[in-house]
Amino acid sequence: MQMEIIEAHDETTTLSYTVARIVYAETLAKSLRVVEALTSMIFNAANHDIKNIKRVISNSQMFESLKNESTRHEFLSVDASRRDFQMCLRVAKTMLHGNLPDTCCHATMFHRAEFLPSWAVARGYICDIDGILFYT
């Protein structure tokens, strides 16, 4: 009888790397505070449902870095061994295990301060963390 090794594909690990790459590209890991805030915003936008996180993080209207023409798109390919990316990865894993506190005041949308999207004109932001404005 021949034995075959079956490797389990850990979907949570794949998802945590995807979330971390997007958070890194959007924040450039300026600080732990902004990384935690954007990651918790993703969780809020997914309505606290891990299954919805995939839908949220694939939204190119929300995350500029997902657009090929964006100047932030190249940061999605960050070297996974970088310390600042590892910080994003730890925070993403914490969020996926349900242990990340809401550090963005229940926000479900964001934009960087250097842009003012049309949807934000009629809204007031609820917090500004390192130049990223968060909205409900």
**Model pLDDT for residues 54-85, shown as the tens digit of each residue:** 999 999 999 999 999 999 999 999 999 999 99
Task: From residue 86, give the alpha-carbon distance in Å to each of 50, 90, 136.
Answer: 21, 6, 28
Closest CA to 76 of 23, 11, 113, 15: 23
Closest CA to 45 of 61, 30, 29, 34: 61
Confidence of residue 1 (pLDDT cuts 50, 70, 90): low
Residue 127: half-sphere exposure toward Cβ, Cα within 13 Å: 14
Q: Would the pTM count as exceeding 0.95? A: no
- Output the six-digit token pair for 104: 């963005």
- Which one-letter DSSP state was computed for residue 1? -
Residues in the chain, total: 136
Q: What are the tens digits of pLDDT across the range 5-57?
A: 444 457 778 999 999 999 999 999 999 999 999 999 999 999 887 789 999 99
pLDDT at residue 128, as a whole number: 95
In the chain, domain spans: 11-104
- Amino acid at position 111, single letter: H
pLDDT at residue 122, as a whole number: 87
